[in-house]
Structure 1
């Protein structure tokens, strides 16, 4: 049984994120921890440590009317879990629980599910916004980013560039979602230069073919930062698997990454595994 963290921020309840967890439970029972973060001021929240919180640092919290809405969402979460026979827990604390607490939660979980469209949408107009980028960057377990409207995955798109992080993500995805390994799977290498072949082709093919029964290798002869999102829009019913963006400068790398374009399109779920 997997332990899944499903995060709801402020007054937003993501139907898409919950539905993905529910479908996972239908395939194999899971434990879902619903984390209800307060509607807070985003600035520097990752820098709040538990010691600082304990020493009297005040984190801006929700207004009274927002707190009532969050309570309604908690009751909805409980009702949906009971209706769908999902074992669940609830974690909320409107006074001092914010991103440091979420980071600690991920240390003891198999997967974190976030909504790509509504997750702290008030903190900025860019997509993915700064909060979502930092949540991905700081998570200590793999992250699944889910749009509100999507088809449950019937095919896997494994983004591969020869890096340690891309191979790590491919392995983590197979370990966490063995039920998806029988899906049609594309090991995708994007490179505009016709003379450049898959990095470590034999090694990666040997590894992936052990886990993914319907595997094909496909080289996309374009610049992924420019055209990958366009290509992925035609892959309805897919899930994109990607390695980490790099812990040292995640925000800058995300801005330049083709993965951010896929997240912005809100068409495909995206699985990201930090090393």
Structure 2
């Protein structure tokens, strides 16, 4: 049984994120932990040390915000009971919300976030800063889910020859063995003219051990411009992507093909940090 974190902020309840967790439980029972974060601007308080040095006063939750959270907790509990999901509720993150979430991910197999709801009121940028930071510092793999999607019947494994892309493929296979029988395409994504799959024999030996219906595909277009369009026609899929190293993490969200897929809210995206 996997331990899954499902995170909500303030008044926002992601129906899509919960539906993904519900479908996971149908396939194989899970322990679902609902984490309820406050509606407070922590843009300068990602790390505990930064918060301590800044001397900033943390605003208390307004009564209206607290009422929204309690309403969401009640809804979450009712939905879990109806779907026969074993669940827990965590809401003690009011002091330092994002660092608290980071610690929660240390003790979980997977984090699920709603791509359209997670702190969407903070900025119009998509993915917004909070979503980027949550993915960046998560100590477990993350699935970013739009509000409307089809539960994956196909897997798209984004591969560029890097260790991070191979790591993500392995983590996805370990966490979602129930999806390994789906039609799977390992797509070589590279923004240059390289034709051959790097380490083709090695990646074939690994991937074919986990995915029984596997094909290889070289994307013959600029992924930064057209990958999101190509993938938008595959609405019953999940995209699997590596997150690069932490030092170069900004690459993932700086006009990358993954950014465009998340922003378009078409399919779930699985991201695994190293």
- TM-score past 0.5 threshold: yes
Contact map agreement 1:38 1:93 (CA 8 A) in 2: no
**TM-score, normalising length: structure 1:** 0.94
Please list the CA deviations of residues 100-139 of structure 1 after superposition, one character each: whole Å capped at 9, or x if unmatched: 1100000010000000001001221110000000000000
CA distance in 1: counterparts of 2:60 and 2:220, whole angstroms: 49
Q: Trace 1:109-188 onto structure 2 (pairs within 5 A).
A: 109-188=108-187
Please list the CA deviations of residues 4-40 of structure 1 after superposition, one character each: whole Å capped at 9, or x if unmatched: 0000011100000001101111111100110000001
Question: CA shift at 1:253, angstroms?
Answer: 4.0
CA distance in 1: counterparts of 2:88 and 2:159, whole angstroms: 36
CA distance in 1: counterparts of 2:167 and 2:94, whole angstroms: 37
Please list the CA deviations of residues 18-71 of structure 1 after superposition, one character each: whole Å capped at 9, or x if unmatched: 011011111111001100000011322212259949xx9742343211110110
Could you tell which deviates more after superposition, 94-103 or 16-25?
Answer: 94-103
CA distance in 1: counterparts of 2:93 and 2:209, whole angstroms: 46
CA distance in 1: counterparts of 2:187 and 2:69, whole angstroms: 41
**TM-score, normalising length: structure 2:** 0.95
Partner of 1:46, secondary structure, is coil
CA distance in 1: counterparts of 2:24 and 2:251, whole angstroms: 33
Contact map agreement 2:252 2:259 (CA 8 A) in 1: no
Could you tell which deviates more after superposition, 118-127 or 160-169?
Answer: 118-127
CA distance in 2: counterparts of 1:193 and 1:88, whole angstroms: 46
Aligned to 1:24: 24
Contact map agreement 2:183 2:213 (CA 8 A) in 1: yes
CA distance in 1: counterparts of 2:194 and 2:10, whole angstroms: 50
CA distance in 1: counterparts of 2:126 and 2:182, whole angstroms: 29
CA distance in 2: counterparts of 1:146 and 1:253, whole angstroms: 17
Determine if the alignment matches structure 1 residue 14 to structure 2 residue 38.
Answer: no
Paired positions, count = 273
Contact map agreement 1:123 1:129 (CA 8 A) in 2: yes
Aligned to 1:204: 203
CA distance in 2: counterparts of 1:176 and 1:147, whole angstroms: 20
Q: For structure 1, which runs of at least 5 residues remain unmatched after alignment?
A: none
CA distance in 2: counterparts of 1:58 and 1:79, whole angstroms: 35
Q: Which runs of 4+ in 1 moved over 3 A?
A: 49-53, 191-195
Determine if the alignment matches structure 1 residue 5 to structure 2 residue 5.
Answer: yes
Contact map agreement 2:48 2:96 (CA 8 A) in 1: no
Aligned to 2:38: 38
Q: 1:50 to 1:84 in 2, by over 3 A?
A: farther
Contact map agreement 1:158 1:188 (CA 8 A) in 2: yes
Q: 1:92 to 1:258 in 2, by over 3 A?
A: same
Partner of 1:40, secondary structure, is coil
Partner of 1:80, secondary structure, is helix
Q: 1:125 to 1:245 in 2, by over 3 A?
A: farther
Aligned to 1:86: 85
Contact map agreement 1:157 1:240 (CA 8 A) in 2: yes
CA distance in 2: counterparts of 1:241 and 1:152, whole angstroms: 14
